Amino acid sequence: MSEADSRGEQGHSKEAEEVEFLPLGVRVKGLRTLVIGGGRVGSRKVHTLLDAGAQVTVVSPKIDDDLRALHDNGALTWIRDGYHVRYLRTADLVIAATADRTLNRQIARDAEARRVLYCLTSSGQDSRVIFPAVHREGPVTIAVHTNGKECTQSRWLRDRLAAVLRSEGLPPRLVAFGTDRRSLTHEQFEALAEAEKRLTLEDFGGSELLILSTCYRWVAWFISANPRAQRARILELIEENGGPSLRQNLQALGTRYDTGAVHHLLEVASGIASPLRGETEIVGQLRSAADRWLPNDGPLRHLVCWAFSAQKRVRRAAPALEGRSWRSVVEAALRRLTADATAPRVAIIGCGNLGEAVARSLHPDVKVVAFSRRIAEGVPWCEELGLRLREPPELAATLASVDALFIASDGPDWWREEAAAAARNGLPILDLTGDHPWHRAGEECFGLTDVASVTLSVEEAIDLAGARREAFVHAVEWEAERRTQLPLKGSIRVACRGSELSVIQTRGVVDLLRRLAPDARFVMTECSSPGDRDRETPLTEVTNGDFFTRDLDEALLTGAVDVAVHSAKDLPESLPGGLKVAALTPAFAPWDCIVTREGARLDELSVDARIGTSSVRRRWQLLHLRADVTPVEIRGNVPDRIEQLDRGDYDALVLAVAGLVRLGLEERIAQVLSTTQFPPEPGQGALAVVIREDDLELAKLVEPLDLGDREGLPWA
């Protein structure tokens, strides 16, 4: 071969090995980043990293004025020194931004040797990480790069795409933006509620918006092509009306989009998202909010009308929850707390709808003493019942002469000191304004959560699970009607384990996917797993996290199947590279339950009763509730375990309610264990839909199913 041919061959080889970068979105919040170089280029990288939440340390003998200002404000750490390899020890990402190309390359070699990601601002192609040219518009991020070659070309193309995006706009999205009072202090939540009262439609330029503010939640629904701007406007108005300290503490306000937002609206309207599951008062509250915020016909008004219609169908799925209301629960509790009084007297703070409903239920056999800040305006129902409306200064003396206190105030807690003192003196109190530290002062002092935690009967729990599933299905159907059909080609192969429960679970997911893609062909296929083949090894001795998922993971990675459906709690702490959980369904029935032969509850079992469970968590929880029972290892699927119970191998079992309901074995449930006494495994009852990371079409298809709560799940 000639020298020329050799050079040509080498050139061809070099082109074949051209550097290419995989485009990824990386969450860098809390990432330890080291920027070496304190000039203009380093300053640009520092701003990018800080905006994304990274922890930034700058190493440089000198830094420019911009970086010095950031350092003086505590935004970054500055090491006044030249580069030394020891500074790489605590870094996750290194940016070599000095003016010395040779030094930058040395930094890269040192970082490579220590397996630390690095970026050279002087040579993109010599980097492990490059920074693309970025433009953000609402929820959309445009990122353009040329594999580290032509930064100018990247910026030019980014600007062209940004111009198209601005001119044509983004498709409007349905958004739910808000929180419940568990995520805020009492003072913050009350300030948020007060701020809502001062807002008007004019504050939002006439755009459609619905704000629901109750004793438990504060949420705004709106439709916008730029949700970020609308959220910012809401927060700005909250700050104006509630004070700057309120806005600074509203990181708890979460956001749901599209199917997630409509699913949330339907669950709220149905009362199944309330702390008192299935409560009915929420319908009236939502109607009042809609009348205030949505006086005119429009898309959001139509959606709310749809929710009112759909919630009736959701409620019909839960007849056992019929009649569960705050009024009935509070009335029953007050009658129980005053049962020993000859002529019971109850004080009520707050004369709104709930205060009125409770007063009417108690009257006339219980003497009601009503308090309100609106003394000058008068309260019609008090006049109708012949009650003298009391003023705040009378509260302390009144509490010394009543048998119980009910607090349903929707305003400032002017009553707090008097109520706390009465609690310390033993007065029974029901407080629906929240859960406060002073509640612990009284043995019969109950906050919002305590009042709401009415133990679910087996029938109520099963019906609640059915209602939750109905709400999920209705939300997916809503999405199916509005979305453009995806051009899916060929068969979509969906894998599950061979157990009856896994097949039923997967069939339910496939039924929903068929609604979203009616023209696609779905084929179910069964795979075994090590957990299916090995029925002898106690689960407490299993060390492989993929004991129940390995074969399905391999089938996905090899392309033998396209989708795998798992019980979420069966997933390992991390999935194999190349796979992702594209959707997590809601957990309709997250509880554990007791299963016995004759229907005995946990407290009715004999001493030393043998209770079958394969979970270390359940063993500890059982012994906490009853130290005299004996948790015993058990293996097998749900029907196998019930067969072992029925032949006398065990006196009881602890099983997941979700599995029994899906198998149609709910009649075997003897007792549903409350999540307060018996917290379930994170993800219990939810289904995880796993696909290959690069399968963008399937990711888009299953996206509407991703409505579950990922908190506490190790792989999330």
pLDDT, tens only, 411-433: 678 899 999 999 999 999 999 98
Q: What is the pLDDT of residue 609?
A: 96
Does the pLDDT of residue 635 top 50, yes or no?
A: yes
Q: Quick one: pLDDT band at residue 394, thresholds 50, 70, 90? A: very high
CB neighbourhood size of 555 (10 A): 17
User: Could you read off the pLDDT of 253-284 as tens digits, one per residue?
Assistant: 889 999 999 999 999 999 999 989 999 889 99
User: Could you read off the pLDDT of 81-107 as tens digits, one per residue?
Assistant: 999 999 998 899 999 999 899 999 999
CA distances from 312 to 83, 257, 270, 316, 322 (A): 68, 23, 7, 6, 11
With residue 262 as reference, give the H or E element that holds it: helix 259-270
- pTM to 2 decimals? 0.74
**Angle at the Cα of 322 from the Cα atoms of 365 and 384, rounded to 5 degrees:** 35
Q: What is the CATH number of the domain that holds 427?
A: 3.40.50.720
3-state SS class at 577: coil
**For residue 631, which of 646, 647, 645, 651 has the smallest C-alpha distance?**
651
Does the pLDDT of residue 447 top 70, yes or no?
A: yes
Same domain? For 119 and 177 the reply is no
Residue type, 250: L
Q: What is the pLDDT of residue 244?
A: 63
Does the pLDDT of residue 17 top 70, yes or no?
A: no
Q: What is the pLDDT of residue 535?
A: 60
Distance from C-alpha of 292 to C-alpha of 278, rounded to nearest angstrom: 24
Residue 277 gets the label, from left (phi > 0), alpha (psi -120 to 50) or beta, of beta
Q: What is the pLDDT of residue 715?
A: 74
Q: What is the pLDDT of residue 539?
A: 55
Q: How remote is the C-alpha of 564 from its chain's centroid?
A: 23
- With contact defined as beta carbons under 8 Å apart, do 682 and 569 qualify? yes
Rg of the chain over all Cα atoms, to the nearest angstrom: 31
Same domain? For 406 and 446 the reply is yes
Same domain? For 41 and 118 the reply is yes
Q: Quick one: pLDDT band at residue 241, thresholds 50, 70, 90? A: confident
Distance from C-alpha of 716 to C-alpha of 698, rounded to nearest angstrom: 19
Q: What is the pLDDT of residue 8?
A: 43
Residue 538 gets the label, from left (phi > 0), alpha (psi -120 to 50) or beta, of beta
Give the mean pLDDT of the chain.
Answer: 87
Same domain? For 155 and 108 the reply is no
In a domain? residue 474: no
Same domain? For 147 and 126 the reply is no
With residue 502 as reference, give the H or E element that holds it: helix 500-516
CA distances from 62 to 59, 67, 166, 329 (A): 9, 10, 40, 68
Return the DSSP state at 133. Answer: E
User: Could you read off the pLDDT of 536-566 as tens digits, one per residue?
Assistant: 666 555 555 566 678 888 999 999 999 999 9
151, 168, 185 — which closes off a domain? 168
End-to-end CA distance of the chain: give it in Å, rounded.
56
Q: What is the pLDDT of residue 16?
A: 41
Does the pLDDT of residue 408 top 70, yes or no?
A: yes
By residue range, what is the domain housing residue 357? 343-452
Same domain? For 214 and 312 the reply is yes
Same domain? For 151 and 239 the reply is no
Does the pLDDT of residue 149 top 80, yes or no?
A: no
Residue type, 45: K
CA distances from 649 to 593, 597, 659 (A): 18, 11, 21
In a domain? residue 658: yes
Same domain? For 58 and 127 the reply is yes
Beta bridge partner(s), residue 524: 494
Same domain? For 576 and 626 the reply is no
Q: What is the pLDDT of residue 537?
A: 60
Does the pLDDT of residue 237 top 70, yes or no?
A: yes
Q: What is the tally of structural domains in the chain? A: 6
Residue type, 452: A
**For residue 714, which of 680, 683, 672 has the smallest C-alpha distance?**
683
With residue 345 as reference, give the H or E element that holds it: strand 345-349
Same domain? For 313 and 347 the reply is no
In a domain? residue 405: yes
Does the pLDDT of residue 456 top 50, yes or no?
A: yes
Same domain? For 487 and 616 the reply is no
Rounded average pLDDT over 663-675: 95
Rounded average pLDDT over 502-512: 95
In a domain? residue 472: no
In a domain? residue 278: yes
In a domain? residue 234: yes
Rounded average pLDDT over 477-495: 85
Could you tell me which residues come within 8 angstroms of residue 53 by beta carbon, excluding any fewer than 6 positions away?
28, 29, 30
In a domain? residue 466: no
Rounded average pLDDT over 331-351: 93
Rounded average pLDDT over 55-69: 93
Q: What is the pLDDT of residue 106?
A: 93
In a domain? residue 8: no
Rounded average pLDDT over 210-219: 91
**Rounded percentage of the chain residues whose pLDDT exceeds 90:** 56
What string of DSSP letters covers 25-48? ----TT-EEEEE--SHHHHHHHHH
Q: What is the CATH number of the domain that holds 629?
A: 3.40.190.10
Rounded average pLDDT over 6-27: 59
Residue type, 106: Q
Does the pLDDT of residue 78 top 90, yes or no?
A: yes
Same domain? For 109 and 189 the reply is no
